[in-house]
Structure 1
Amino acid sequence: MKIVGVAACTVGIAHTYIAQEKLEEAGKKAGHEVHIETSDTIGVENALSPEQIQEADVVILAIDVKISDRERFESKRVLQVPTEVAIKSPNKLIQKAEEVVKEDQKNK
């Protein structure tokens, strides 16, 4: 499964990067390809390419603030949670993403 996402916290420092790291680790541990963009006070890092978004099975937004360019995810299944959820329960969040993708595939 291919997962993309954005991590962004209110201050734009610690929680943003911790959420990114936790999601990428949990996703890879579960055997998925994961790319998480960070959006913080210094701008966007690890920007997602249009191809990565297009190929993604699901998008995880671990955000505490509004993000720009959210419309690029309009055609995708999006799970939005606070950064705290991504930090404290990344494995459960990845499991939820798996369930959502399976449910979508079943309904096609």
Structure 2
Amino acid sequence: MNIVAITACPSGVAHTYMAAESLEQAAIARGWTIKVETQGALGAENEISADDVTQADAVILTTDIELNGTERFEGKKIIQTTVKRLVVNPSEALDAVEA
């Protein structure tokens, strides 16, 4: 499975990156490929390219704040969740991808 994701939290600091790391570790543990773009206080980092989107089976987006650039995922399976849920239980979002 090939996943792309965007994490962002209202303050754009710790939780954005904690969610990204938690999601990456859970995906890798399943043998999946994942690329997580963070939209935080420093702007967008590890940006998802058009090629990344084309290769993605699904997209995971956080809903805590409005994300930039979500129109690029049109036509893809999108799972929406919160930063807290990704930090606490990233497998929940990955299970939704498989469903």
For the criterion TM > 0.5, the same-fold answer is yes
Matched, 1:95 2:95: yes
Normalised to the residue count of structure 2, the TM-score between the two structures is 0.96
Shift of 1:92: 2.1
CA distance in 2, matches of 1:24, 1:14: 15
Gaps of 5+ in 1: 100-108
Distance 1:78 1:98 in 2: 12
CA–CA separation in structure 1 for the residues paired with 2:2 and 2:8: 20
Q: Distance in 2 between matches of 1:34 and 1:49?
A: 13
> Aligned residue pairs: how many?
99
For residue 42 of structure 1, what is the amino acid of its counterpart?
L
Instruction: Quote how far apart the aligned CAs of 1:75 are.
Output: 1.4
| Aligned twin of 1:6 | 6
Q: Deviations over 1:14-69 (max 9, x none)?
A: 11000000000000101100111000121000001110011100000024100111
Q: Give the % identical residues.
A: 36
Q: Which has the larger radius of gyration?
A: 1
**Runs (5+) with no aligned partner, structure 2:** none
Q: Which runs of 4+ in 1 moved over 4 A?
A: none
Q: How far, CA to CA, are the matches of 2:27 and 2:77 in structure 1?
A: 17
Indicate if the aligned counterparts of 1:5 and 1:59 stay in contact, CA closer than 8 A: yes
Q: Which amino acid aligns with 1:43?
A: G
**Alignment partners' CA distance in 2, 1:33 and 1:98:** 14
Matching residue's letter, 1:26: A
Distance 1:63 1:36 in 2: 15
What's the TM-score once normalised by structure 1's chain length?
0.88
